[in-house]
Amino acid sequence: MIDFRKYLPLIFIALGAMLVFSMCGSYNNAVSKDEGVKSAWSQVENQYQRRADLIPNLVNTVKGYADFEKSTLEAVIQARASATQVKVDPNQLTPENIQRFEQAQQGLSGALGRLLVVSENYPDLKANQNFMDLQKQLEGTENRISVERKNFNTAVQDYNSYIRRFPTNLLVGMFGFSPKGYFQSQAGAERAPEVKF
């Protein structure tokens, strides 16, 4: 008969080694997923920056029309300045920080929307090739922003799900991993707009 008592230290060492390797794997996976969220966030910021970079050209094109509404241009310039001042540290992607960033970007979106609506009153401006090109680039950028926001939310969902799973949740809390915030749709987006003719 085999005396297992003399193998007990080896069994405990083997179990301890398995536990350490499992913890290392969980930690490394959490780091990888956290980096994926940061990478997705940088792509969101890149697209918003692309939009902000297009705005001065758009404003300069519109300024060429002397009777264009000055208050509309000033609102776009101010909204751009406000939106570019709001930065979020990729290590602090809390729901509150993302909401603050999103509100600044929504202000810029609203100002741009008003600019494009007002431009409808200026047929010469609408026919200007530079204006049309910039308008197309802005539309393309808005689509890219939507795609990158979706990619970001997917990365956050993957990360948040991973760090909440048992037993990973016991380990990651010790190393400071916490849930990340999502981009949310605007309030009222669930209701279809009313169209009247």
Digit-coded pLDDT (tens) for 102-143 = 999 999 999 988 888 888 888 888 788 888 888 899 899 999
Question: Do 187 and 196 meet the contact criterion of CB atoms below 8 Å apart?
Answer: no
**pLDDT of amino acid 189:** 45
Q: What are phi and psi of 132, to 5 degrees?
A: -65, -40
Digit-coded pLDDT (tens) for 79-110 = 999 999 999 999 899 999 999 999 999 999 99
Tell me, rounded to whole angstroms, the distance of Cα 134 from its chain centroid: 23
Cα separation, 184 vs 96, in Å, equals 11
Cα separation, 25 vs 3, in Å, equals 34
Tell me, rounded to whole angstroms, the distance of Cα 141 from its chain centroid: 14
DSSP element (H, E) containing 152: helix 129-164
